[in-house]
Amino acid sequence: MSSSSDEECSDYPRYRDRPEWKDVQPITQDDGEYPVVAIDYSDQYRDVYDYFRGIVARQEKSERALQLCTDALTLNPANYTVWHYRRQILKHLNSDLAKEIEYISDVIGEHPKNYQVWHHRRVIVDWHGDGSLECPFTEEMLRADAKNYHVWQHRQWALSKFKMFDGELEFTERLLEDDVRNNSVWNHRFFVLSSTKEQFSNVLADREIDFVITKLQIALYNESVWNYARGILLYCDSDGPKAKLLKFCNDIYGKGDHGEHSIYLFMFLADNSVEDIENGSGDTNTKLTLATKLYSELALKYDIIRTSYWNFVTQDLRRRFPSSMVE
């Protein structure tokens, strides 16, 4: 904290000047005799944290201690020790947890990328035993930042904890309408499916591949969609959905205007050919020729920033599957 904070809070009553706090012995921070880089804390910061250390030392858990924690967290909302002690006070006082959820909502609104505030909310909501506010709250937070990792993590925890998956796929669809390239939404959609289905049925996989194709028609260069499709196919025990996606890819590749192609389309077709060879499906030489051609096009024209990698993949392919058909 810089000394400029003193000017902002010049009218703030210091704890050391409050008669009701005279019974507490403040404890100053011990940085050692020769601190390497002494932090220039404001007078208010020193005052609040000296008294915080004082109440921790005497293990006081009271309403005034709770207010002191609030003041300490206003100055430093990332202080895990203060949050931990605050929770001890709340439990000791049997405090109104609904009120605490209101408080932490306000703090998160000011500090949405702070690990400690989200952890505190999770603990309090867990104690409260009611997750009904979590989806509306996280949805509101996502409107401000649709890729905030902390928000997504909390939402997934709440969905799992309170079994609130109904309507969640529709929620992801709305967000993808806003931004089809949001990897967080694609990840969340896969999380919802994998959390609610013991196994991916053929009908579900077929539906999801149809959904993927509609999004690829909008954003063929979007890696998130391709990764999602691979995940769906990985858990699918039917060849139908994969065949449908391969037809879509081959139709695009067959048009010949490769300059408009996505590198992820090339990768998907090449990797599929290699998988077919490994599984003994189809003509090996034909598959090898196609895979080598695609990897070479990536190396020489479409993904030259990773030329060395694609050359390595091609060489490894020749080593694993020697054939006179592979030049």
pLDDT at 256: 67
Say how many C-beta atoms besides its own lie within 10 A of residue 248's C-beta. 18
**Is residue 259 very low, low, confident or very high in pLDDT (cuts 50, 70, 90)?**
very low
Our answer to whether residue 113 is catalytic in this structure is yes
Cα angle 112, 96, 89 (rounded to 5 degrees) comes to: 80
Give dist(CA 258, CA 183) in Å, integer: 25
Q: Which of 22, 91, 113, 147 is catalytic?
A: 113
Q: Where are the alpha helices (DSSP H) in the chain?
A: 4-8, 43-57, 63-75, 80-93, 97-110, 115-128, 134-144, 149-162, 168-178, 183-196, 202-216, 223-234, 240-253, 263-278, 284-297, 307-320
Least confident of 54-68, 115-129, 195-209: 195-209
Least confident of 45-49, 77-81, 206-210, 238-242: 238-242
Question: Which DSSP string do the residues of 112-169 spell out, in sequence order?
Answer: TT-HHHHHHHHHHHHHHT--TTHHHHHHHHHHH-TT-HHHHHHHHHHHHHHT--TTHH
**Is residue 90 very low, low, confident or very high in pLDDT (cuts 50, 70, 90)?**
very high
Tell me the sheet residues that pair with 200.
236
**Is residue 35 very low, low, confident or very high in pLDDT (cuts 50, 70, 90)?**
confident
Q: What is the pLDDT of residues 101-119, one digit of tens each?
A: 999 999 999 999 999 999 9
Cα angle 164, 170, 171 (rounded to 5 degrees) comes to: 70
Say if CB 249 and CB 273 are below 8 A apart: no
